Homo-oligomer: A and B are copies of this chain.
Amino acid sequence: MSDVFAGVLARGGVAAQVSGRAWLQALLDFEAALARAQARAGTISDGEALAIAAACDAHLYDADAIGAGAAEIGNPAGAVVNALKAKVDAPVHLGATSQDAMDTAAMLVTKRALVPLLDDLRGAADAAATLAETHRDRPIIGRTLLQQANPTTFGLKAAGWMTGLDEAAAGLERVRLASQMGGPVGTLEPLDLRLGLETPTLPWHTLRGRIGELAGALGVAAGAAGKAALDVVLLSQTEVAEVRERTGGGSTSMPHKHNPVAAVSALGCAKQAPGLVATLLAAMVQEHERAAGAWHSEWRPLTNLLTATGSAANWLRTSLETLEVDAERMNVEGDTGAAALLVDRALEHR
Protein backbone atom coordinates (compact mmCIF):
# COMPACT_ATOMS: atom_id res chain seq x y z
CA MET A 1 0.00 0.00 0.00
CA SER A 2 2.71 2.46 -0.95
CA ASP A 3 1.53 5.91 -1.93
CA VAL A 4 3.04 7.42 -5.07
CA PHE A 5 1.45 10.74 -4.21
CA ALA A 6 2.84 10.91 -0.69
CA GLY A 7 5.42 13.60 -1.41
CA VAL A 8 2.72 15.94 -2.70
CA LEU A 9 -0.49 14.94 -0.96
CA ALA A 10 0.68 13.46 2.34
CA ARG A 11 3.19 16.10 3.30
CA GLY A 12 4.36 16.95 6.79
CA GLY A 13 3.74 15.16 10.05
CA VAL A 14 0.03 14.42 9.78
CA ALA A 15 0.26 11.37 7.52
CA ALA A 16 2.11 9.35 10.15
CA GLN A 17 -0.54 10.21 12.73
CA VAL A 18 -3.43 9.01 10.60
CA SER A 19 -1.85 5.90 9.08
CA GLY A 20 -3.33 2.44 9.46
CA ARG A 21 -0.79 1.79 12.16
CA ALA A 22 -1.70 4.98 13.99
CA TRP A 23 -5.38 4.03 13.92
CA LEU A 24 -4.49 0.58 15.20
CA GLN A 25 -2.45 2.08 18.06
CA ALA A 26 -5.31 4.38 18.93
CA LEU A 27 -7.71 1.44 19.05
CA LEU A 28 -5.30 -0.34 21.37
CA ASP A 29 -4.87 2.80 23.47
CA PHE A 30 -8.60 2.76 24.03
CA GLU A 31 -8.48 -0.83 25.26
CA ALA A 32 -5.56 -0.08 27.57
CA ALA A 33 -7.23 3.04 28.93
CA LEU A 34 -10.47 1.16 29.47
CA ALA A 35 -8.66 -1.60 31.35
CA ARG A 36 -6.92 0.96 33.56
CA ALA A 37 -10.20 2.74 34.25
CA GLN A 38 -11.80 -0.54 35.18
CA ALA A 39 -8.94 -1.42 37.48
CA ARG A 40 -9.37 1.98 39.15
CA ALA A 41 -13.05 1.14 39.54
CA GLY A 42 -12.21 -2.30 40.87
CA THR A 43 -13.99 -4.12 38.05
CA ILE A 44 -10.83 -5.89 36.98
CA SER A 45 -7.58 -6.37 38.84
CA ASP A 46 -4.53 -4.17 38.50
CA GLY A 47 -2.61 -7.13 37.17
CA GLU A 48 -5.16 -7.70 34.46
CA ALA A 49 -5.06 -4.06 33.49
CA LEU A 50 -1.27 -4.15 33.35
CA ALA A 51 -1.33 -7.28 31.23
CA ILE A 52 -3.82 -5.75 28.83
CA ALA A 53 -1.89 -2.49 28.62
CA ALA A 54 1.33 -4.35 27.92
CA ALA A 55 -0.30 -6.05 24.97
CA CYS A 56 -1.62 -2.78 23.56
CA ASP A 57 1.30 -2.03 21.29
CA ALA A 58 0.54 -1.84 17.58
CA HIS A 59 3.88 -3.39 16.70
CA LEU A 60 2.68 -6.68 18.15
CA TYR A 61 -0.09 -6.97 15.55
CA ASP A 62 -0.51 -7.38 11.83
CA ALA A 63 -2.40 -4.30 10.76
CA ASP A 64 -3.28 -5.84 7.41
CA ALA A 65 -4.85 -8.83 9.11
CA ILE A 66 -6.82 -6.48 11.36
CA GLY A 67 -7.89 -4.57 8.26
CA ALA A 68 -9.11 -7.73 6.58
CA GLY A 69 -10.86 -8.80 9.77
CA ALA A 70 -12.76 -5.53 9.85
CA ALA A 71 -15.13 -7.03 7.30
CA GLU A 72 -16.62 -9.36 9.86
CA ILE A 73 -18.57 -6.85 11.92
CA GLY A 74 -18.07 -3.89 9.64
CA ASN A 75 -15.36 -2.14 11.62
CA PRO A 76 -11.84 -2.97 12.83
CA ALA A 77 -12.56 -2.77 16.57
CA GLY A 78 -13.80 -6.34 16.74
CA ALA A 79 -10.72 -7.68 15.01
CA VAL A 80 -8.53 -5.70 17.41
CA VAL A 81 -10.35 -7.12 20.42
CA ASN A 82 -10.02 -10.65 19.07
CA ALA A 83 -6.31 -10.21 18.41
CA LEU A 84 -5.83 -8.75 21.86
CA LYS A 85 -7.73 -11.55 23.53
CA ALA A 86 -5.50 -14.03 21.74
CA LYS A 87 -2.49 -12.43 23.38
CA VAL A 88 -3.67 -11.76 26.90
CA ASP A 89 -5.84 -13.76 29.23
CA ALA A 90 -7.76 -10.93 30.85
CA PRO A 91 -11.18 -9.32 30.44
CA VAL A 92 -10.56 -7.11 27.43
CA HIS A 93 -13.09 -4.51 26.09
CA LEU A 94 -15.29 -5.06 29.15
CA GLY A 95 -18.61 -3.26 28.88
CA ALA A 96 -17.59 -1.51 25.71
CA THR A 97 -19.11 -1.62 22.26
CA SER A 98 -17.03 -1.46 19.12
CA GLN A 99 -18.09 2.12 18.52
CA ASP A 100 -16.64 3.13 21.88
CA ALA A 101 -13.27 1.98 20.63
CA MET A 102 -13.68 3.44 17.16
CA ASP A 103 -14.91 6.85 18.29
CA THR A 104 -12.25 7.21 20.96
CA ALA A 105 -9.63 6.14 18.44
CA ALA A 106 -10.91 8.68 15.92
CA MET A 107 -10.54 11.42 18.53
CA LEU A 108 -7.07 10.23 19.57
CA VAL A 109 -5.93 10.08 15.97
CA THR A 110 -7.30 13.58 15.45
CA LYS A 111 -5.66 14.90 18.62
CA ARG A 112 -2.31 13.51 17.53
CA ALA A 113 -2.67 14.68 13.95
CA LEU A 114 -3.54 18.18 15.11
CA VAL A 115 -0.12 18.55 16.73
CA PRO A 116 1.88 18.67 13.48
CA LEU A 117 -1.03 20.25 11.67
CA LEU A 118 -1.25 23.15 14.10
CA ASP A 119 2.51 23.40 14.18
CA ASP A 120 2.57 23.88 10.42
CA LEU A 121 -0.40 26.20 10.42
CA ARG A 122 1.26 28.36 13.07
CA GLY A 123 4.60 28.02 11.31
CA ALA A 124 3.02 29.33 8.15
CA ALA A 125 1.40 32.15 10.12
CA ASP A 126 4.77 33.00 11.67
CA ALA A 127 6.36 33.11 8.24
CA ALA A 128 3.55 35.39 7.11
CA ALA A 129 4.09 37.56 10.18
CA THR A 130 7.76 37.91 9.36
CA LEU A 131 6.88 38.91 5.81
CA ALA A 132 4.33 41.36 7.17
CA GLU A 133 6.86 42.97 9.46
CA THR A 134 9.68 43.03 6.93
CA HIS A 135 7.54 44.42 4.15
CA ARG A 136 5.29 46.58 6.28
CA ASP A 137 5.52 49.55 3.92
CA ARG A 138 6.68 47.81 0.77
CA PRO A 139 4.34 49.21 -1.88
CA ILE A 140 2.56 46.74 -4.11
CA ILE A 141 -0.40 47.29 -6.35
CA GLY A 142 -3.66 46.03 -4.93
CA ARG A 143 -5.62 43.88 -7.34
CA THR A 144 -9.36 43.49 -7.43
CA LEU A 145 -11.05 41.07 -9.83
CA LEU A 146 -7.45 40.50 -10.95
CA GLN A 147 -7.20 44.06 -12.26
CA GLN A 148 -4.66 46.49 -10.87
CA ALA A 149 -6.51 48.86 -8.59
CA ASN A 150 -4.91 51.04 -5.90
CA PRO A 151 -1.65 50.60 -3.97
CA THR A 152 -1.39 48.63 -0.77
CA THR A 153 1.68 47.10 0.86
CA PHE A 154 3.02 43.61 0.58
CA GLY A 155 3.17 43.63 4.37
CA LEU A 156 -0.60 44.02 4.55
CA LYS A 157 -1.09 41.19 2.11
CA ALA A 158 1.08 38.98 4.31
CA ALA A 159 -0.69 40.23 7.45
CA GLY A 160 -3.92 39.07 5.90
CA TRP A 161 -2.51 35.58 5.36
CA MET A 162 -1.26 35.58 8.95
CA THR A 163 -4.63 36.61 10.33
CA GLY A 164 -6.48 34.00 8.32
CA LEU A 165 -4.10 31.27 9.44
CA ASP A 166 -4.11 32.39 13.08
CA GLU A 167 -7.88 32.42 13.21
CA ALA A 168 -8.06 29.01 11.57
CA ALA A 169 -5.62 27.63 14.16
CA ALA A 170 -7.70 29.16 16.95
CA GLY A 171 -10.78 27.50 15.50
CA LEU A 172 -9.08 24.11 15.51
CA GLU A 173 -8.02 24.58 19.11
CA ARG A 174 -11.63 25.14 20.12
CA VAL A 175 -12.72 21.78 18.74
CA ARG A 176 -14.12 19.53 21.48
CA LEU A 177 -12.36 16.19 21.24
CA ALA A 178 -13.99 13.71 23.59
CA SER A 179 -13.58 10.08 24.49
CA GLN A 180 -16.40 7.60 24.10
CA MET A 181 -17.41 4.84 26.49
CA GLY A 182 -21.17 4.48 26.41
CA GLY A 183 -21.62 0.75 26.06
CA PRO A 184 -23.88 -1.14 23.64
CA VAL A 185 -26.64 1.45 23.39
CA GLY A 186 -24.97 4.46 24.97
CA THR A 187 -26.51 4.28 28.41
CA LEU A 188 -23.33 4.23 30.48
CA GLU A 189 -22.12 7.30 32.30
CA PRO A 190 -19.13 8.55 30.29
CA LEU A 191 -15.88 7.47 31.88
CA ASP A 192 -12.77 9.61 32.08
CA LEU A 193 -10.38 7.46 30.10
CA ARG A 194 -7.43 9.75 30.92
CA LEU A 195 -6.38 9.97 27.33
CA GLY A 196 -6.19 13.74 27.23
CA LEU A 197 -9.69 13.89 25.78
CA GLU A 198 -12.74 15.63 27.18
CA THR A 199 -15.27 13.45 28.99
CA PRO A 200 -18.59 14.16 27.30
CA THR A 201 -21.89 14.86 29.03
CA LEU A 202 -23.55 12.05 27.13
CA PRO A 203 -22.28 9.23 24.95
CA TRP A 204 -22.22 10.70 21.47
CA HIS A 205 -22.50 7.57 19.34
CA THR A 206 -25.04 9.27 17.12
CA LEU A 207 -24.58 12.87 18.26
CA ARG A 208 -21.89 13.85 15.79
CA GLY A 209 -21.62 17.55 16.44
CA ARG A 210 -18.01 17.05 17.45
CA ILE A 211 -17.16 15.52 14.11
CA GLY A 212 -19.09 18.23 12.30
CA GLU A 213 -17.34 21.04 14.17
CA LEU A 214 -13.98 19.43 13.57
CA ALA A 215 -14.77 19.06 9.87
CA GLY A 216 -15.81 22.70 9.63
CA ALA A 217 -12.67 23.91 11.41
CA LEU A 218 -10.46 21.80 9.16
CA GLY A 219 -12.29 23.15 6.12
CA VAL A 220 -11.66 26.69 7.32
CA ALA A 221 -7.98 25.93 7.87
CA ALA A 222 -7.67 24.47 4.39
CA GLY A 223 -9.42 27.53 3.00
CA ALA A 224 -7.09 29.92 4.81
CA ALA A 225 -4.06 28.02 3.53
CA GLY A 226 -5.52 27.93 0.04
CA LYS A 227 -6.06 31.68 0.00
CA ALA A 228 -2.42 32.45 0.77
CA ALA A 229 -1.22 29.78 -1.64
CA LEU A 230 -3.32 31.20 -4.45
CA ASP A 231 -1.88 34.65 -3.87
CA VAL A 232 1.65 33.25 -4.03
CA VAL A 233 0.85 31.38 -7.24
CA LEU A 234 -0.58 34.52 -8.82
CA LEU A 235 2.25 36.77 -7.65
CA SER A 236 4.70 34.21 -9.05
CA GLN A 237 3.23 34.40 -12.56
CA THR A 238 5.91 35.20 -15.14
CA GLU A 239 4.11 38.43 -16.00
CA VAL A 240 3.90 39.52 -12.37
CA ALA A 241 6.98 37.91 -10.81
CA GLU A 242 6.79 39.90 -7.61
CA VAL A 243 7.61 36.84 -5.50
CA ARG A 244 9.43 33.60 -6.14
CA GLU A 245 9.79 30.43 -4.10
CA ARG A 246 13.51 29.93 -3.52
CA THR A 247 13.08 26.18 -3.77
CA GLY A 248 10.76 26.29 -6.77
CA GLY A 249 10.62 23.15 -8.83
CA GLY A 250 11.43 22.29 -12.39
CA SER A 251 9.57 20.49 -15.11
CA THR A 252 10.11 17.21 -16.93
CA SER A 253 9.81 18.96 -20.26
CA MET A 254 10.78 22.59 -19.69
CA PRO A 255 14.00 23.02 -17.68
CA HIS A 256 13.81 26.83 -17.95
CA LYS A 257 10.69 26.97 -15.79
CA HIS A 258 10.70 27.85 -12.11
CA ASN A 259 7.39 26.63 -10.74
CA PRO A 260 6.04 27.64 -7.30
CA VAL A 261 5.72 23.96 -6.43
CA ALA A 262 5.04 24.50 -2.75
CA ALA A 263 2.18 26.94 -3.27
CA VAL A 264 0.76 24.88 -6.13
CA SER A 265 0.83 21.73 -3.99
CA ALA A 266 -0.71 23.59 -1.07
CA LEU A 267 -3.57 24.58 -3.34
CA GLY A 268 -3.89 21.04 -4.65
CA CYS A 269 -4.23 19.78 -1.09
CA ALA A 270 -6.55 22.53 0.14
CA LYS A 271 -8.99 22.00 -2.72
CA GLN A 272 -9.70 18.47 -1.51
CA ALA A 273 -11.14 19.68 1.78
CA PRO A 274 -14.63 21.07 1.03
CA GLY A 275 -16.00 17.86 -0.46
CA LEU A 276 -14.73 15.86 2.51
CA VAL A 277 -16.31 18.33 4.93
CA ALA A 278 -19.61 17.88 3.10
CA THR A 279 -19.37 14.12 3.53
CA LEU A 280 -18.74 14.45 7.26
CA LEU A 281 -21.57 16.93 7.73
CA ALA A 282 -23.96 14.74 5.74
CA ALA A 283 -22.91 11.87 8.00
CA MET A 284 -24.19 13.72 11.07
CA VAL A 285 -27.68 12.44 10.33
CA GLN A 286 -27.27 9.18 12.24
CA GLU A 287 -30.16 7.08 13.36
CA HIS A 288 -31.04 5.77 16.82
CA GLU A 289 -28.18 4.45 18.96
CA ARG A 290 -25.71 3.44 16.24
CA ALA A 291 -25.88 4.38 12.60
CA ALA A 292 -26.10 1.87 9.78
CA GLY A 293 -23.70 3.40 7.30
CA ALA A 294 -23.39 7.10 8.14
CA TRP A 295 -20.96 6.27 10.92
CA HIS A 296 -18.92 4.04 8.62
CA SER A 297 -18.76 6.83 6.07
CA GLU A 298 -16.79 9.05 8.46
CA TRP A 299 -13.52 7.16 8.93
CA ARG A 300 -11.94 7.64 5.54
CA PRO A 301 -13.05 11.24 4.94
CA LEU A 302 -11.84 12.25 8.42
CA THR A 303 -8.46 10.64 7.77
CA ASN A 304 -8.21 12.25 4.36
CA LEU A 305 -9.37 15.65 5.56
CA LEU A 306 -6.70 15.70 8.26
CA THR A 307 -4.09 14.66 5.68
CA ALA A 308 -5.17 17.17 3.05
CA THR A 309 -5.36 20.07 5.49
CA GLY A 310 -2.09 19.14 7.16
CA SER A 311 -0.35 18.84 3.82
CA ALA A 312 -1.71 22.18 2.70
CA ALA A 313 -0.41 23.82 5.87
CA ASN A 314 2.99 22.20 5.55
CA TRP A 315 3.41 23.15 1.90
CA LEU A 316 2.28 26.69 2.58
CA ARG A 317 4.77 26.99 5.40
CA THR A 318 7.54 25.90 3.03
CA SER A 319 6.33 28.37 0.45
CA LEU A 320 6.16 31.33 2.81
CA GLU A 321 9.42 30.48 4.59
CA THR A 322 11.28 30.42 1.28
CA LEU A 323 9.51 33.28 -0.41
CA GLU A 324 11.76 35.79 -2.13
CA VAL A 325 10.32 39.21 -2.71
CA ASP A 326 11.30 41.24 -5.76
CA ALA A 327 11.00 44.72 -4.34
CA GLU A 328 11.81 46.36 -7.61
CA ARG A 329 9.03 44.67 -9.53
CA MET A 330 6.58 45.29 -6.70
CA ASN A 331 7.24 48.98 -6.62
CA VAL A 332 4.28 51.21 -7.30
CA GLU A 333 3.67 54.85 -6.50
CA GLY A 334 1.04 56.07 -4.09
CA ASP A 335 0.35 56.50 -0.42
CA THR A 336 0.70 53.27 1.52
CA GLY A 337 0.65 54.71 5.03
CA ALA A 338 -2.80 53.41 5.89
CA ALA A 339 -1.87 49.91 4.80
CA ALA A 340 1.25 50.00 6.95
CA LEU A 341 -0.78 51.02 9.98
CA LEU A 342 -3.06 48.06 9.40
CA VAL A 343 -0.02 45.80 9.46
CA ASP A 344 0.86 47.16 12.90
CA ARG A 345 -2.69 46.64 14.03
CA ALA A 346 -2.73 43.04 12.87
CA LEU A 347 0.64 42.25 14.46
CA GLU A 348 -0.43 43.83 17.74
CA HIS A 349 -3.62 41.77 17.79
CA ARG A 350 -1.67 38.57 17.36
Contact = CB atoms under 8 A, between A and B. Distances in A.
B271 A293 contact: yes
A145 B264 contact: yes
Interface in A307-350: 308, 336, 338-339, 341-342, 345-346, 349
Contact of A73 (B95, B231, B251): B251
Given A4-B23, A5-B300, A163-B201, A288 B339 contact: no
Contacts of A150: 184-185, 187, 254
Chain multiplicity (copies): 4
B224 A220 contact: no
Contact of A207 (B98, B164, B345): B164
A125 B155 CA distance: 43
Contacts of A184: 142, 144, 149-150, 251, 253-254
B285 A226 contact: yes
Contacts of A216: 212-213, 215-217, 219-220, 277, 281
Contacts of A308: 300
A73 B250 contact: yes
A79 B339 CA distance: 29
A42 interface: no
Interface stretch (A33-41, A49-57, A59-67, A111-119): A59-67
Contacts of A183: 253
A230 B206 CA distance: 11
A286 B227 contact: yes
A76 B346 contact: no
B146 A253 contact: no
Contact of A278 (B144, B151, B220, B277): B277
Contacts of A66: 2, 4
Contacts of A299: 5, 9
B271 A283 contact: yes
Contact of A273 (B98, B224, B281): B281
A16 B293 CA distance: 23
A47 interface: no
Contacts of A64: 2-3, 6
22 contacts: A3-B67, A5-B23, A5-B67, A7-B69, A71-B261, A73-B259, A93-B252, A95-B253, A146-B237, A148-B238, A160-B186, A189-B342, A202-B346, A208-B223, A213-B220, A215-B219, A223-B282, A234-B287, A237-B237, A267-B293, A270-B293, A275-B277
| The 3 A-B residue pairs with the shortest CB-CB distance in the complex, in nearest-first order | A216-B216, A268-B296, A223-B284
